[in-house]
């Protein structure tokens, strides 16, 4: 499989649940990103991992916890979420320092918090 | 502030008509510029990019964009749209620091009507 794969595609969870989103890239990239896309709002960059180290955290609440065990995998652990956290969560990857190819995105996980 | 501005949140157009989606970038964004397209329930797909050279850039699906340094613009055009072009279009630029991070505009929804 090539590209960036996100699972699950859809997730419904209660506010007291704990769940995880998974992202896997097969492009040999060394940087990975989590974005949040809410209705009628710009794409929000949440976390950036470069060479498996978190290099950026844009004031994201602690109920979102990222994990990057290796350069191919990125997780977003979720716990005690709020209804306003319902959104499309997009993962992307890139080759750090190379602008030629931009970012490659996964298809996203549609999260609904009830 | 670092920004990419898409002035139109939605552009309705009839099938086979020409369309232009506007994008302006601030001086804090580099001249590495991209357009992405997002079809319903999918991730973002690279449409075209400007890195250097000819200011007219051709992309997939018959789209093209023109880089205009004096107007700090990178408008996307298509001479004749299809129903299947209905999607969200995002303009993006590389941040003017060493991080090579992408900054996205707020998106423009292209709605093609029969």
pLDDT the model gives residue B31: 77
Q: What is the mean pLDDT of chain B?
A: 90
CA pair distance A93, A4, nearest whole angstrom: 7
- Give the mean model confidence (pLDDT) for residues B7-13: 94
> Which residue ranges of chain A lie beneath pLDDT 50?
none
pLDDT the model gives residue B38: 94
Which residue of chain B is at minimal alpha-carbon distance from A10?
B41
Of A48, A99, A106, which is closest to B94 when you measure between CB atoms? Answer: A99
How near does any CA of chain B get to the CA of A23, in Å? 13
Q: Strand B108-113 relative to strand B10-14: parallel, antiparallel, unpaired?
A: parallel
Q: What percentage of chain B reaches a pLDDT higher than 90?
A: 71
CA pair distance B46, B41, nearest whole angstrom: 16
Identify all chain B residues contacting A43, using CB atoms and an 8 Å cutoff.
Answer: 90, 104, 107
How near does any CA of chain A get to the CA of B104, in Å? 7
pLDDT the model gives residue A2: 62
Flag whether pLDDT at B19 surpasses 70.
yes
A108/B100 Cβ within 8 A: no
B32/A99 Cβ within 8 A: yes
- Give the mean model confidence (pLDDT) for residues B54-66: 94
Flag whether pLDDT at B2 surpasses 60.
no
pLDDT the model gives residue B82: 96
Residues 6+ apart with CB under 8 A from B16: B80, B81
């Amino acid at each position: 499989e090539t590209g960036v794969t996100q699972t699950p595609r859809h997730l419904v969870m209660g506010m007291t649940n704990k769940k995880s989103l998974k992202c896997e890239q097969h492009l040999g990239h060394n940087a990975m990103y989590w974005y949040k896309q809410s209705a009628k709002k710009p794409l929000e960059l949440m976390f950036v991992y470069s060479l498996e180290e978190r290099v950026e955290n844009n004031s994201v609440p602690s109920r979102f916890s990222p994990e990057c065990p290796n350069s191919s995998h990125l997780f977003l652990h979720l716990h005690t979420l709020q209804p306003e956290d319902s959104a499309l969560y997009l993962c992307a990857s890139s080759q750090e320092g190379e602008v030629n190819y931009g970012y490659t995105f996964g298809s996203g996980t549609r999260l609904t918090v009830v | 502030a670092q920004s990419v501005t898409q002035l139109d949140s939605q552009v309705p157009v009839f099938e086979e008509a020409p369309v232009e989606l506007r994008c302006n970038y601030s001086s804090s964004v580099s001249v590495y510029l991209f357009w992405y397209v997002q079809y319903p329930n999918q991730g973002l797909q690279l449409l075209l990019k400007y890195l250097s050279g000819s200011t007219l850039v051709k992309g997939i699906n018959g789209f093209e964009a023109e880089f205009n340094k004096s107007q700090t613009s990178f408008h996307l055009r298509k001479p004749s749209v299809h129903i299947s072009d209905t999607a969200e279009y995002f303009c993006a630029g590389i941040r003017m620091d060493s991080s090579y991070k992408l900054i996205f505009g707020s998106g423009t929804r292209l709605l093609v009507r029969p």
